[in-house]
Structure 1
Amino acid sequence: MKNKPIGAVGALAIAVGGSLAAATPAQAATPAVMITLAYYNSPGSDTGSNTSLNGEYIRLTNKRTSAINLKYWTLRDKSSHIYKFASDFKLGAGASVYIHTGKGTNTSTHRYWGSGAYIWNNTGDAAYLRNSAGTAIDSCSWGSTGSYTNC
């Protein structure tokens, strides 16, 4: 059997196909929305007041160049406390939203879990973000030192 030259078109197709295959895993590795900060130990004493509860929060950041609808996405801890974006919530391109533990009025940049108890453990915990299909998107964990961690 003779080897046939593949020609310029065939070589271009192989080169482009190889480039696309190499680019796909890198793009898939960057989540559209990331947990970028976990403030798990609110300032001052843990009094259980709403102000103290809201001193605990997780910051989510949209890393894409277009808005993402977080409807039905969830944020949870190791103990399966679950916050759910129950309605349409569009996180703008490059924008961040803070999910506070306590009660408050939801805005485009601050959302409230509505919990009367602390969610994030000061002795170590993890935050898990899942999309509306339940697929893991991002996570962030911390140990027992400090008050916050950049994820």
Structure 2
Amino acid sequence: MKHRLIGSAVALAATVGALAVAAPAQAATPAVQITKVYYNSPGSDTGSNSSLNAEYVRLTNRRSTAINLKYWTLRDRSNHVYKFSGDFRLVAGASVYIHTGRGTNSSTHRYWGSGAYIWNNSGDAAYLRNSAGTAIDSCSWGSSGSYTSC
């Protein structure tokens, strides 16, 4: 009887262990994440370049190596598209801000060059895709507030 109980306990432990291994893994963190969207620039929406540039999306590299964002895209629900052209390496752990208006691109700030607001204050979504068009990350928000942390 003692051997039968030990055998049953071992069988039960093996079954529980198999179930733990077979459980679905949590989704992996994307290499690059949308970490903040400031969709309602401060003050009145005047349409000035400084007001447009106060509207931005922050992307963060979550990996320990640089990632080339060449031909990656950032878009909204209305299909306004920002495309990283040429080599743009986002270093490990770094963030880049994509501003709606015009400006001079740098390693930490990129400019859409739009003369109109992109992100809707009443609710919208940002979608990040790699150069193959594969969805990497997204972030959505409703109609309250001025920004969202994703």
TM range, smaller chain: 0.7 to 0.9
Aligned equivalents of 1:102, 1:74: Cα separation in 2? 17
Aligned to 1:117: 116
Aligned to 1:53: 52
Aligned to 2:8: none
Q: Which has the larger radius of gyration?
A: 2
Shift of 1:104: 0.1
Alignment-mate amino acid for residue 49 of structure 1: S
Structure 1 runs, 4 residues or longer, greater than 2 Å off? none
Aligned to 1:3: none
TM-score by length of 1: 0.83
Aligned to 1:88: 87
Aligned to 1:75: 74
Aligned to 2:61: 62
Aligned equivalents of 2:78, 2:102: Cα separation in 1? 20
Residue 126 of structure 1: SS of its match in structure 2? strand
Aligned equivalents of 1:88, 1:118: Cα separation in 2? 26
Shift of 1:29: 1.9
Aligned to 1:131: 130
Aligned to 1:142: 141
Aligned to 1:39: 38
Tell me the percent identity. 80
Aligned equivalents of 1:81, 1:25: Cα separation in 2? 34
- Point out where structure 1 has 5 or more consecutive residues left out of the alignment: 1-17
Aligned equivalents of 1:106, 1:33: Cα separation in 2? 19
Residue 113 of structure 2: SS of its match in structure 1? coil
Residue 29 of structure 1: SS of its match in structure 2? coil
Aligned to 2:101: 102
Alignment-mate amino acid for residue 41 of structure 2: S
Alignment-mate amino acid for residue 67 of structure 2: I
- Point out where structure 2 has 5 or more consecutive residues left out of the alignment: 1-17
Aligned equivalents of 2:86, 2:55: Cα separation in 1? 23
